[in-house]
Amino acid sequence: MAASLVLQHEFVEHIPEVLHNGFLYVSIRYATAAHKCCCGCGNEVITPLSPTDWKLVFDGKTVSLYPSIGNWALSCKSHYWIDKNRVRWAKKWTDSEIEKNRQFDRLLKGQYYRNAK
């Protein structure tokens, strides 16, 4: 993992077929952001932008994604924040922490969609 990594962001209509290292591609039209995993493993990371997934903040110069990106389905299981184009590494989570987070995420999504009816 790179100790200090700065991503460049690019607003696009469609996410490109080939993602380049060090870039965060953002499609507002399709409410999606994508990048190559910041650990360097080469896997693509797709972050849907929605009230129950990730939120994007653009301050006119940099972008941030919230909450953190936990690549639990990838073998690297990297965990980081993208904050003002900078990657901030988070602690690795145990399998138990990952499962608790998944359960909590399902609970919040269920509540959101039940209340949205």
Question: What span, in angstroms and rounded, lies between the C-alpha atoms of 111 and 94?
Answer: 26
pLDDT, tens digit, 9 for 90 and up, residues 1-13: 555 699 999 999 9
Residue 5 contacts residue 86 (beta carbons within 8 Å): yes
Overall pTM > 0.75? yes
**108 HSE (CA, 13 A, CB side):** 10
55-111: pLDDT as tens digits:
999 999 999 999 999 999 999 999 999 999 999 999 999 999 999 999 999 998 898
Burial of 95 (0-12, 13-18, 19+ CB in 10 A): exposed
Query: Residues near 108 by Cβ (< 8 Å), separated by ≥ 6?
Result: 52
